[in-house]
Structure 1
């Protein structure tokens, strides 16, 4: 593994320019969701990855490993409806957000990865793969 460096998807395109224009024109309303923060530390024969995901339920978080890439995805939907006696809305607020980050996990034993989620922090234990040393064989001559 090459130091558990996260991939950075800065895919600048024309749609980003429109989004940035809208944000600058209408002002920042604090609804932007930045990338979630992660801490990665090496401990003996494993890595510990801690990702801050406050406000999410365990069911909102998905972990996938494919082709040596670990992807953490978290999606959140929140609806707050207040209605009067007639069932008409007097206030209705909705908030949606999703996060996605990917990490190179080459050199990790993918089958032994474990995860837990407590108090808004996702903790992954990523055991380092055991190095396979080439086996030497002696061949007898008859």
Structure 2
């Protein structure tokens, strides 16, 4: 009888599935939480592209101070598996907060522009124009 119980209990249990699901869950969290980012430094501006899958525009916050760009976001990752009849077999949800900071000196935050489309945040931060014709040195007469 003990053998029958253990065989019945473990017949639906596959240890490798447990590890597959565990790894899959952390892989999903890792890919969304790291905010994959590209930054291009042009002569007159910075262009920043950030992948924020699952985020809504209202849940993204951008701040620039002390020559540092800070981006934070909160988002929901939801997964629902159903059988052929539409019965829910599993429903998982995860709410996460993530942020990144980048040192971008001399950006003009008042002229910055941001768009968010298909999970990609794109920022254009013009650089402050410095007067290169002006000589900061004091001449001796």
Superposition TM-score, scaled by structure 1 size: 0.60
In structure 1, what is the equivalent of residue 83 of structure 2?
none
Q: Note closer, same or farther for the CA distance 1:136–1:30 as it changes in structure 2 (3 Å cut).
A: same
Alignment of 1:30-69 (within 5 A): 30-31=25-26, 32-34=29-31, 35-69=34-68
CA RMSD of aligned residues (A): 3.1
Structure with bigger gyration radius? 2
Superposition TM-score, scaled by structure 2 size: 0.61
Q: Which has the higher helix share?
A: 2
Number of residues paired by the alignment? 107
Aligned-partner Cα distance in 2 for 1:48–1:120: 16
Q: Report 1 or 2 for greater relative contact order, CA contacts < 8 Å, sequence distance ≥ 6.
A: 1
Contact 1:38/1:49 (CA < 8 Å) preserved in 2? yes
What stretches of structure 2 of length at least 5 have no aligned partner? 1-18, 81-88
Contact 1:46/1:126 (CA < 8 Å) preserved in 2? yes
Alignment of 1:1-142 (within 5 A): 27-31=22-26, 32-34=29-31, 35-77=34-76, 93-132=92-131, 133-134=134-135
